[in-house]
Every structure is written in C-alpha cells, then in structure tokens.
Structure 1
C-alpha cells in the first residue's frame, strides 16, 4: 500500500512520507524494547536489595521519555505531512483532470470523480495522519516485545513466537475474503448513489405523474442490495476478528501456563514471570487492534487504487517542440474519429479559410458537435489531422491552442461565484472597462441592471440562479472578453425564448465579426449568414455549398430547410 500511496503522491512527496514512516517505526521499536527493562527492574525489586532497582527505574523512565518524544514527533509529522499531501494531492488531481481528453469523462465518470475528489481523497490521505501510526505500532511493537521475550527466556519467547504464523494466516485469509466482499459493497454503494441522484432528478416527472407518495423502485432495489452487501461484508470479516482474538488469547494463555510451570519448577523467578506476563499482555493489545485497522486500511487502499487509476489515465500528449500556427484558418484532412466501436467522423476533409464562417448542419448523432471538440482538441483523432493556422493541433501547445479558440456551448456551465467572476474567466487580467464593454456587447448589461446586486450577483452552482438566456449572455460576454481569433459555436439559441434569442443572436454576431467561425446549427435560419454550409450524415459530408446553392440542389439540406419552415401541427 505504501508503494501505491507514493505513486499517487508523486516523487516529490516520497521523502517526507518515508521520514514519517521511519519516525513511527522508531517510536514503536523504542516502546517495545523499553519493556525489556522490566525484567532487571522487577528482578531487583523482588531481590534482596530493592534499592538496586533505582538505576533500572531511571533507565525505564528515560526510555519511556524517548518513546514519548518520538511518538509526539512522529504523530506531529504525520498530521503535517498528511495536510500537506492532501493539498498537494488535490492540486495534482486537478492538474491531471484538466489534461485528460473530454471523452474520458463519459460513462458516468463525472460522478465517480466527484466522490473520489471529496471523500476518497480525504480517506486516502487520512492514512498518513490517522492509520499509519497505529498500524506501524501494531506491527513493530509486538515484534520488539517478542525479541525481548526471547532474550528473557527462550522457551517463553518460542511459545509467543508460535503465534506469528497463525496471526499471519488468519490476517491473509481474512483479508482476501473481506477484500472480495468490500469490492461488492463499493459497487453497490456506487450504484445506490447513482439511484439517489436519479431519484432527485426525477422529482418533476414523478410529481407531474402524481406519484409523489410512491417510492422509487430502482432506488429501493439498490438500497436493498447495499444492505445485503454490507451484511455479507460484515459476516466475511467476522471469522477474522474471532480467529485473531482466539489466536492471541490462546497464545497468551499458553505463555501464562508455561511461565507458571517454569516458575513452580524453579527455572524462573517470580520477577521474571511477572515481567513476562506484562510483556505478553502488552503484546496482545496491538495485535487485537489489527482487525479494526485491517478494515480501515482496506477502505483506504480501495480509495488509493481509484486515485491511482485516475492519475494513470493517459492525458493528451504535449508536443516536445511546439509549433505556432500561422494564421487562423481551419482544416480537416482525412479525419477519422471513433468512440469505442462507433465511428463518429469518417474520413472527413474540409477547410475554413481565415475570417470565414462555416455552418454545420445535420441530424442528431451525425458528428456536428464532435467537429468543434476536435478543433479545440478535446479529443485526438484516430486518423488524419485537424489543423489551425496550418499546424496540426497535436503539435500546438495546449495554452496556445486554448488562447486562440473561444467556445460557446448550447449548455452553459457557470462556476459558483458572481457574474463578474464568471465573465472574467475569459481573460482574468482584463480591466474593468473591458469587462463592462464585453457585457454591453453581449447585452448582459440589461440583465445586470435589473438584478439587485448587479455585478456581484451570485449565479449559484452551474449558474442555477440565472435563466438559460442569462447564462448564455454571460457565456458570450466571457467569449467576447477573451477576444480569440477562432470562434466555435454549438447552436446557442435553440432553447431560448424570442426575447433572449434576439439578445443572444446580437451578441453572437458581434462575437463572430472578423473571426474564423464554425457554428453547429440546429435552427436552420442561423445558417443564412454563413459563407459555407456543410451537411453531415453519419460522420461524412453529404452536401456542401452556400445556403442558396444547397437550396437549389434540392437534396437533404433543402429538405431540412423546408421542414424548419413548416409550422408544427396543432394538437
């Protein structure tokens, strides 16, 4: 587990972790060896000259003092290193997640990462501060006491040593069975957490259907599975707890019986017998704690394994010698891109000259939004090349490519902060006049004027305190403030009311002025101002040309256009 922990933390944290482990081991070793002084101490007390015990008592007190100092230093080091590692792990995890391709987050990974970044990191890093010291003590202190017993009387020492293989077998067998049960419980916990989220998100549907008093069957089933898995996990750990207790108690009883036999036979004195009993009792306590520590360590090991898996995920590679784009034209050269077994973009070639506007049209699932993501390098292509300014996006440094692209999505996500803070994300170093100018161009100033707190209005998590149109205006203001030469738009007005649509459309027109633009169009009337229109179907270009040329062609695009002009049939 220590190797996994060091791999998760990174090489820069290996030294403080090793130093902390060494301090903990030294404290446990001194504690165990200090008990060895009990034998001469008790022998002197029970002898003819009890005053001879003072030097041994002083030595025992000094050893206890050394142990206290080492324990304090090791515990303090554990807490300090743990807090430092917690902060460092969050930074490392955040930096790594920011470099992973967007496709990595598909398949429910967002929920998994959110849980891992909260409870998982805390539990994993808590190993240093809370679990490592008692685990080291439970392992090293009994070993040191066993050495003392062997020195004091080899027969009693061998009797105590007989427990070592038995304890190892019990821990090994219990650990294997408990690990399988724990894995099942973690899986059930994850499924139940997903069902809880689903239940909360389904409230509008359930209430609209008049089913507010009913329980959610899928959630009930998931919770029952959690209960069963938890019961199986507890039952699988029970033999280990009982077995360990039996082994330890049986060994203690055997040592006691052997010591009494030797004492009655005159082979050892009462002082030695009393010392041996104290040592055996002190050895039993940390061994019995291994059951509890084992369960907590398995939990931490599980979280460490998840963290390690995330940190081992391959990010998009950075070029060794970055290339700077020459201009802002865009090109797709025989591009193929797959998601799993599905080909999303199939051998597509296309160019957008600098300063021109391309509209991408097509049915759902045809690969329209994927084109935008490939330009921004949210994914790497499987074949061909995507170029910006004549340079392959894989050869451009991420910071350079990001600075050249402004992306406005249909579903806007705002960070939990004020409106001004979210706009400033476009260019954090912008002055106030530039922020205000961008807001005016996006007609965000109209929204701010009617809000009591103005620019300081909190937007809530994900922008939940703003309407869809208001969120979109913030997003456009952010893109205007960034002032990037390439603009990527995933139809930003498809879900807005007429008033907000007009305002957003005006902001988008200002954003696109003089820039290279690729826009995914769901509402067909937004393509009329495009210089070139591409109709995608199955990841391939089915038709392309200007709006007027495609209408005269009378093909798929014309059918889409006619359908968009046909009013919906009243119900």
Structure 2
C-alpha cells in the first residue's frame, strides 16, 4: 500500500512518508518492549523481596514515557503528512483531470470521479492520519511481545509464534473473500451516484411528465442494489471476524494450558507465569482489532488503487520543447479523427487565414463541433495535423494555446458566484473598468441593472438563476475580456429568443471584429456574416466558398439554405 501511495503522489513525498512509518514502527516496538519489563516487576513482587520491584517499576515508567513520546511524534507526523498528502493528491488529481481528453468524460465517469474525488480520496489518505499507526501497532507490538516471550521461555515463545501464521492465513482468507464484495459495493455506489445526478438533471422532464409525486424507479433500484451489496459485504466479513476471534482465543487458551503445565512441572516459576500470561493478553487485544482495521485498510487501498488507475490514464502529451505560433491562421491538414469505432473526420483539409471568418455548416453528426474541439486541443487527431500559426497544436504549450483562443459554447456553464467572478475567468488580472467595458459590449449591463444585487448578484450553480440568453451574454463578456486572437463559436444562438438573440449577435459582432473566427451555426443570419463557408458531411468538406458562390452552384449548401428558409407547417 505504501508503494502505491508513493506511486500516486510522487517521489517528493517519499522521505516524510517513510519517516512517519519508521516512527510508528519504533513506537510499536517500544510499546512491546515496555511490556517486557512487567516480567521482572511481577517476579520481584511475587518473590521473597518485593522491594526489589522499585527499580524495575522505575524502568517500566521510563519505558512507557519513551513510548508515549514516540507515539506522540508518530501521530503528529501522521496528521501532518496526511494533510500534506491530501492537498498534494487533490492538486495532482485536478491537474491530471485537466489534461485528459474531453472524450474520456463519458456519462459513466461522472459518478466515478465524483465518488473518488469526494469520499475516495479522503478514505485513502485518512489512513496516514487515523489508521496507519494503530494498524502498524497491531502488527508490530504482538511480534515484539512474542520475541520477548521467546527470550524469557523458549517453549512459551514458540507456542505463541506458532499462532502467527494462523492469524496471517485468516486475514488473507478474509481479504480474498471480501475483495469481490468490496468491488461490487464500489460498482453499486458509483451507479447510485450517477443515478442521483441523473435524477437531479431530469427534474424538468419528470415534472413536465407529471411524475413529481412518484419515485424515480432507476434511482430506487440503484439504492436497493447498494443496500444488498452492503448486506453481502457484512455477511462476507463475518466469517473472518469470527475466525480471527476464535484463533486468538484458542492461542491464549493454549498458552494458559502450557504455562500451567510448565509451572506444575517446575519448568516456569510461579511468579513468571502471570507475567507471561499478561504479555499474552496484551497480544490478544491488538490482534482482535486487526479484523476491523483490516477492512478499513482494504477499503482505503481499493480507493487508492482506483486513484492510481485514474492517474495512470494517458493524458494528452505535453510538448518537450513548446513552440510559439507565429500567427493566428488555422490549418486542418488531412485530419482523421475517431471517437470509439466511429470515424468523425476523414482526411479533412481546411484552411482559415488569419483574420478570416469561417462558418461551418452541415447535417447533425457531420463533425462540426469536433473541428472546434480539435483546434482547442480537447482531443488529439488520429492522423494529420491541426495547426495554429503554422505550428501543430501538439507542439504548443497548453497555456499558450488557450491564451490565444476564446470559446463560446451553446451550453454555457457558470460557476456559483457573482457575474463579475464569472466574467473575470477570461482574464483574472483585468481592471474593474475592463470588466465593466466587456459586460457593456456584451449588453450584459442591462441584465445586471435589473438583478436585485447588481454586480454582487449570485448566478447560482451552473448559472441556474440566469436565463439561457443571459448566460450567453456572460460567456461573450468573458471572451471579450480575454481578448484572444482566435474565436470559436459553437451554435451560440440556436436556442435563444429573438430579444436575447439580437443582444447576443451584437456582442458576437464585437467579439469577432479583427479576429480569426470559426463558427458552427444553423441560423442563416450568422452564416451570411462569414467570409467563407465550409459544408461538412461524412467527416469531409464537400463544398467550400462564399455564401453567394455556394448558392450559385446549387449544391448541398444551396439545398441546406432553401430548407432553412422554408417555414414550418402552420407558420
């Protein structure tokens, strides 16, 4: 487990972690050795000169004080290292998640990462602060006491030593028996978490369907499966707990019988026998606690293994020597991209000169949004290259690439804070005047004026307290404040009402001025503003040219344009 922990956190944490484990081991050995002094204490007390016990009692007190000091240092080190490791783990996990391809975040991963980032990391890293010291003590202290018993009487020591493989075998057997149920419990927990998220996200659909008064069947089923998995875990743990208890009690009984036999035969002094039995009793308590601690350690290790697998997921590689792009033109050079088994882009070639506006249109699933995502390097291409300023995006540093790109998506996510907080994400060091100017350019100032708190008004989680059009205005203000030379627009007005669409269009016009723009759009008002239009179908550019040129050709774009202008039945 320590090796896995070091692999997860990196070598820089190895020294403090090993020092903490060494302190815990030393404290456990000191505890066992302090109990060894009970033998001469009891021998003197039950002997002819009880006063001879005073020096041994003083030594016992000093040994206990030394053990207490070591235990304090070990516990303190465990808390400090645990806190440091927890902070380092969250930082490394966050950095790693930002480097994973967007395609990695499928629906099933939401629940998995949610459980791991909340309960999983805390469970795995709390071992250092709360569990490792007693666990090391439960293993090392009994072994130290057995070594002491061997020193005082080899027969009783061997009898105690014979129980060690029995306890180890029971622990291993119990661990194997629980491994399958632990995995099932984790799987059910992940599924239930996903169902809870789905239940919350599905509230509009459930309410629109008049199902507010009934339970959500999928969530109920998932929670019942969690309950069943928990019950199976408890039942699987019982044989190990009972077996360990019986084994420890049998060992103590065997030592008691052997000690009595040796005492009757004169092989062991009557004063020494109680002391050795006290030592044996001190072995029993930590051994019995192993069953409970073993389950906690096993759960923490399982979470640590899951964290390790997540951190081993191959991220988008960083360039060894980042190259600075010379300009802001865009080139797709024979790009092929797959998502799973499906070919999204098939040998696509396209060029967007610096300062030009390109509109990308086509049927659903043609790969339009994928173009934008490849420019921002949310994915890496399978073959070919995407170039910004003549440089492959894979050779540009992530910070440099993102500093040159402003993205406005159709679905805008706002963080739970004020409008100003969300605008400042575009450029955190912007002045107040610059933030206000960006908001005004996006026509967000009129939204702020009617909010109860003005600039200090909260937007809610995900921007839930704002309408879709208002969220789009925040997104545009954020992009304006960023002032990046390349702008990517993805269906930003497709679901807006006329008032918000007019306001958003005005903000978009200001955003696009003098920049390289790639826009995915269905609204013809947006498409006509482009310098050039690329019609995608089947992952390829099937037509390319200006609006008027494409209409004269009477090809796919002309048919698309005619369909868009045809009013729906009943209009």
TM-score range, shorter chain: over 0.9
- How big is the shift at 1:110? 2.9
CA distance in 2, matches of 1:306, 1:440: 47
- How big is the shift at 1:507? 0.2
CA distance in 2, matches of 1:17, 1:274: 39
- How big is the shift at 1:321? 1.8
- How big is the shift at 1:115? 2.2
1:206-245 map, 5 Å: 206-245=206-245
1:294 paired to 2:294? yes
1:200 paired to 2:200? yes
List per-residue Cα deviations over 1:160-199 (Å, max 9, x = no partner): 1111111111111110110111101111121122222223
Alignment CA distance shift 1:412-1:219 (3 Å) = same
Higher mean displacement: 99-108 or 76-85:
99-108
CA distance in 2, matches of 1:205, 1:438: 35
CA distance in 1, matches of 2:98, 2:43: 66
CA distance in 2, matches of 1:353, 1:456: 41
CA distance in 1, matches of 2:114, 2:135: 29
1:568 maps to which residue? 568
CA distance in 2, matches of 1:356, 1:182: 57
Higher mean displacement: 354-363 or 445-454:
445-454
- How big is the shift at 1:227? 2.2
1:383 maps to which residue? 383
- How big is the shift at 1:303? 1.1
SS at match of 1:270: coil
2:467 maps to which residue? 467
1:247 maps to which residue? 247
SS at match of 1:489: strand
TM-score of the aligned structures, taking structure 1 as reference length: 0.98
| Structure 1: runs of 5 or more not aligned | none
1:513 maps to which residue? 513
List per-residue Cα deviations over 1:405-432 (Å, max 9, x = no partner): 1111111111111111111111111111
CA distance in 2, matches of 1:541, 1:413: 31
1:113 maps to which residue? 113
CA distance in 2, matches of 1:154, 1:50: 26
Verify the 8 A CA contact 2:414 2:459 in the aligned structure 1. yes
CA distance in 2, matches of 1:489, 1:148: 75
- How big is the shift at 1:33? 1.1
CA distance in 2, matches of 1:111, 1:498: 37
How many residue pairs align between the two structures?
Answer: 571
1:478 paired to 2:463? no
CA distance in 1, matches of 2:71, 2:538: 66
2:151 maps to which residue? 151
Verify the 8 A CA contact 2:407 2:488 in the aligned structure 1. yes
1:305 maps to which residue? 305
1:123 paired to 2:123? yes
Higher mean displacement: 528-537 or 85-94:
85-94
Verify the 8 A CA contact 2:327 2:389 in the aligned structure 1. yes
CA distance in 2, matches of 1:270, 1:559: 106
CA distance in 1, matches of 2:484, 2:220: 50
1:314 maps to which residue? 314
1:402 maps to which residue? 402
- How big is the shift at 1:203? 3.1
| Structure 2: runs of 5 or more not aligned | none
SS at match of 2:83: helix
1:447 maps to which residue? 447
CA distance in 2, matches of 1:112, 1:552: 52
CA distance in 2, matches of 1:434, 1:226: 52
1:357 maps to which residue? 357
CA distance in 2, matches of 1:292, 1:302: 16
1:163 maps to which residue? 163
- How big is the shift at 1:15? 1.0
Alignment CA distance shift 1:449-1:206 (3 Å) = closer
Higher mean displacement: 197-206 or 1-10:
197-206
Higher mean displacement: 176-185 or 537-546:
537-546
- How big is the shift at 1:238? 1.0
2:15 maps to which residue? 15
CA distance in 2, matches of 1:277, 1:558: 96
1:132 maps to which residue? 132
1:337 maps to which residue? 337
CA distance in 2, matches of 1:190, 1:292: 24
CA distance in 2, matches of 1:224, 1:126: 28
Alignment CA distance shift 1:452-1:213 (3 Å) = closer
CA distance in 2, matches of 1:223, 1:316: 36
SS at match of 1:427: coil
Verify the 8 A CA contact 2:44 2:53 in the aligned structure 1. yes
Higher mean displacement: 553-562 or 70-79:
553-562
Q: Pairwise CA RMSD of aligned residues?
A: 1.3
1:74-89 map, 5 Å: 74-89=74-89
Alignment CA distance shift 1:465-1:210 (3 Å) = closer
- How big is the shift at 1:134? 0.9
CA distance in 2, matches of 1:200, 1:438: 33
2:420 maps to which residue? 420
- How big is the shift at 1:399? 1.3
CA distance in 2, matches of 1:156, 1:94: 55
SS at match of 1:345: strand
Alignment CA distance shift 1:29-1:322 (3 Å) = same
CA distance in 1, matches of 2:99, 2:158: 57
SS at match of 2:544: strand
CA distance in 2, matches of 1:319, 1:222: 43
Alignment CA distance shift 1:203-1:569 (3 Å) = same
Verify the 8 A CA contact 2:111 2:190 in the aligned structure 1. no
1:184 maps to which residue? 184
- How big is the shift at 1:93? 1.3
List per-residue Cα deviations over 1:135-181 (Å, max 9, x = no partner): 10010000000001111111111111111111111111110110111
List per-residue Cα deviations over 1:342-390 (Å, max 9, x = no partner): 1111100000111000000011111100100111111111100101111
CA distance in 2, matches of 1:320, 1:223: 47
SS at match of 1:108: helix
